[in-house]
Amino acid sequence: AKWKRLSSEGITRLDMFEHISLMTLDSLQKCVFSFDSNCQESPSEYIAAILDLSALVVKRVQKIFLYMDFLYHLTPDGRRFRKACNLVHDFTDAVIQERRRTLASQGVNDFLKTKTKAKTLDFIDVLLLAKDEDGKELSDEDIRAEADTFMFEGHDTTASGLSWVLYNLAKHPEYQERCRQEVQELLRDREPKEI
C-alpha cells in the first residue's frame, strides 16, 4: 500500500533497500513479538535503535583500534551503541516479562489454547516453552539473546535478498512477467485473508 501510494504521487524511483528493511523489520516484530510496529508508516524508537546498531557495527568493524570494548565505549559511537543496545534489550525484556506473567497465570495448556485459537504463537512464545534435554527452561537472558539476534540479523539479510530479487526482476521484465503469472495462478481463488 505504501509503494502504491508513493507511485501514485509520481515517485518513479525508490531506494527499495530502505523500504524493504522497514518491511522486514515490521514483519519480524510481528513474528518474534506479535507486535504491530507499523514502522513502515510511522517512526519507532525500537526500529531506529536496530538500524542504528546495524550501522554502528559496520562502522566499528572498519576501524581496528575500536575492536577493544574499553576504547569503543569511550567514543561517541560507543555511547550511542550502548544506548541503542539498552533500548533494544529493554523492549525485549518487557515482552518476555509480560509473557512470563501471562504464562504463569494461565498455565501452559490454556496459554497454548489461547495462542492457537488466535493464531499468535510467536518466537518468544516458542522460546518460553522450550526446554533443554534436562527439562530446564531458557533463562530470560537466553531468550533475549535469541530474539535480539533474530531481529538484528534477520532483517538485514532478508532485506538484502529481497532487494536483489526486485532489482533483477526490474532489469528482466520477461522474468518479472513469468513470476507475476505464477503468483496469480497460485492465488487465483484464494481470499486475501487466507493468504
Mean pLDDT of 136-154: 90
Q: Which helix (H) or strand (E) holds 92?
A: helix 76-106
Q: Please check the confidence at residue 99 and state whether its pLDDT lies above 80.
A: yes
| 130/184 Cα distance (integer angstroms) | 39
Q: Please check the confidence at residue 192 and state whether its pLDDT lies above 80.
A: no
| CB 161, CB 142: distance < 8 Å | no
Asked whether residue 126 is assigned to any structural domain, the reply reads yes
Q: Please check the confidence at residue 194 and state whether its pLDDT lies above 80.
A: no
What pLDDT, in 10s, does the model give residues 177-187?
999 999 999 88
Asked whether residue 145 is assigned to any structural domain, the reply reads yes
In the chain, the number of structural domains is 1
Asked whether residue 193 is assigned to any structural domain, the reply reads no
Mean pLDDT of 157-184: 94
Asked whether residue 129 is assigned to any structural domain, the reply reads yes
Residue 2 confidence (pLDDT)? 84
Asked whether residue 22 is assigned to any structural domain, the reply reads yes
Residue 62 confidence (pLDDT)? 92
The CATH number of residue 123's host domain is 1.10.630.10
- Band (141; pLDDT cuts 50, 70, 90): very high
